[in-house]
Amino acid sequence: MLVLFETAAGYAIFKVLDEQKLQQVDSLWKEFETPEKANKGKLGKSLKKVLKKVVAKEAHEQLAITDAKLGGVIKEKLNLSCVHSPAVAELMRGIRNQMEGLITGLPAREISAMSLGLAHSLSRYKLKFSPDKVDTMIVQAICLLDDLDKELNNYIMRCREWYGWHFPELGKIITDNLAYCKSVRKIGDRTNVASMDLSEILPEEIEAEVKLAAEISMGTEVSEEDIANIMHLCDQVIEISEYRTQLYDYLKNRMMAIAPNLTVMVGELVGARLISHAGSLLNLAKHPASTVQILGAEKALFRALKTRRDTPKYGLIYHASLVGQTTAKNKGKISRMLAAKTALAIRYDALGEDTNAEMGVENRAKLEARLRYLEEKGIRRISGSGKALARADKYQHKSDVKVYDPSGDSTLPTVSKKRKIEEVEEGEEEEKPVEAKAKKVKREAPTEGNHPCREAETEPPKKKKKKEKKKAEEESKPEEEETAVTYLGTRVYIEALT
């Protein structure tokens, strides 16, 4: 049996003279206690043929190897039967312990140096071709871009406050930070504004306003040394701004090269932040769509779970253009759909072989169409209940034109039109005599001689005389009189006929 052994200096092939000892795995280490025990035998003809790169068909020996995959390749290419077993692993371990004695001409110091060099070369090779490390440049670029934004904000704020003591009106007139720093760099002392030409930096209207404000400025006088330091700070702001623009272009190109579909879906900055937050593009591809949706809002998520409140609807994906142009009512729905399509785009970029952005363009077009539908017609569930349809119809535009009704302006009472009032002709109808209502007989209070439950049959004499007198007056009146009758809200006077 032949043994293929790998070292930092190259490959070594050994000949196993006693194959029966391989069956005793537990006691195999005793054969490698000393170099003399390990190095026994001579180089056979078959081994020489392998070393001289003769056709492997002439070597009928088995080849013991440590890697089963390598054995398959050797068997396929050289037609050599390879062996891989626990006994072979123990054999390799023994050879490694006595490698200095078995391989002549290689001191321990040189073997150690060769091993270190091989480890470094192998690490560089794996780092160069590892799919996990291709997006390292994107992660570093987006982190640096965020740091530059923070530093620029601090520098510009300090520059405005510093120069504001000398020329405070300039900060209100020029709102753009870069234009402000360039103007300060060119103006210096505000007394030089009248003779300065700022047309390359500012429009004509703003330039005229700056010159007018410089004449009546309320700022304090500063020394030339102060102005020199302020101008140096402006130089730093301008240089950092130019470098940020260059870095953004670099990041945009790298994102289009590594993750084109992700870039089309959410943009360069949001896509790079998602990759940076996940660690790599491959790690991001392992996340489900629900995780991609709330990636970056972990604190809010855990706080909501702890307090049993509503979980967040979006994280870093909130800054995507599709979510930004949506109304507040549909942001959650659009972010969920965008996260689902973005998860597919990430997996296609990380694991696919193509480098085009056709999938991202197609999915983005679908999302834009869905967004237009939601914004124009609202959410309509065709398969929903009647209440859902009625709720959707409530917000639809009505095409009926309403006309103003002037009848509501009048405050006079209206007369019913159902029935008209007809005048009563003389002689057609006779007024029926009005029957006098029978008056109830009042009960007298119980007296000493009467029973409390018995009705009073007699009235007091004074009341009786008044009633008789009133009755006599009514009989003495003429028979013809006018009687007022109220009919349907209108008073009509009808002459009573006898």
Of 5-19, 356-370, 416-430, give the range with the top mean pLDDT. 356-370
Nearest to 319 by CA among 350, 343, 296, 341: 296
- Pairing mode, strands 482-487 and 490-495: antiparallel
More confident residue, 31 or 124: 124
Predicted local distance difference test score (pLDDT) of residue 162: 93
Q: What architecture does CATH give domain 135-248? A: Orthogonal Bundle (1.10)
Mean pLDDT value of segment 34-38: 54
Predicted local distance difference test score (pLDDT) of residue 415: 52
Does domain 2-24+34-127 correspond to CATH entry 3.30.420.220? yes
Predicted local distance difference test score (pLDDT) of residue 179: 93
Predicted local distance difference test score (pLDDT) of residue 52: 46
Helix (H) or strand (E) holding 469: helix 461-476
Nearest to 237 by CA among 303, 184, 308: 184
Q: What architecture does CATH give domain 254-376? A: Orthogonal Bundle (1.10)
Distance from the Cα of residue 350 to its chain's centroid? 21
Predicted local distance difference test score (pLDDT) of residue 479: 47
More confident residue, 11 or 217: 217
The C-alpha atoms of residue 466 and residue 458 are separated, in whole angstroms, by: 15
pLDDT in tens, 289-341: 999 999 999 999 999 999 999 999 999 999 999 999 888 888 999 999 999 99
Q: How confident is the model at residue 402 (pLDDT cuts 50, 70, 90)?
A: low
Are domains 2-24+34-127 and 135-248 of this chain identical in fold? Answer: no
Mean pLDDT value of segment 405-430: 52
* Token representation of residue 466: 């008044």
Q: Exposed/middle/buried for 451, CB within 10 Å: 0-12, 13-18, 19+?
A: exposed
Q: How confident is the model at residue 432 (pLDDT cuts 50, 70, 90)?
A: very low
Q: Which of the residue ranges 164-178, 187-201, 225-239, 482-496 would you say has the lowest mean pLDDT?
A: 482-496
Predicted local distance difference test score (pLDDT) of residue 374: 87
pLDDT in tens, 453-481: 444 445 556 666 677 777 777 665 544 44
* Token representation of residue 52: 């001289």
The answer, yes or no, to whether residue 368 has pLDDT greater than 80, is yes
| Residue 299 identity | K
Query: Maximum Cα–Cα distance for the chain, whole Å?
Result: 170
Share of the chain above pLDDT 70, in %: 62
Helix (H) or strand (E) holding 14: strand 11-15
More confident residue, 491 or 288: 288
Ramachandran category for residue 460: left, alpha or beta (phi over 0 → left; psi -120 to 50 → alpha) = beta
The C-alpha atoms of residue 6 and residue 95 are separated, in whole angstroms, by: 10
The C-alpha atoms of residue 22 and residue 27 are separated, in whole angstroms, by: 9
The answer, yes or no, to whether residue 486 has pLDDT greater than 50, is no
Neighbours of 258 (CB within 10 A): 20
More confident residue, 30 or 81: 81
Where along the chain do its domains lie? 2-24+34-127, 135-248, 254-376
Predicted local distance difference test score (pLDDT) of residue 261: 94
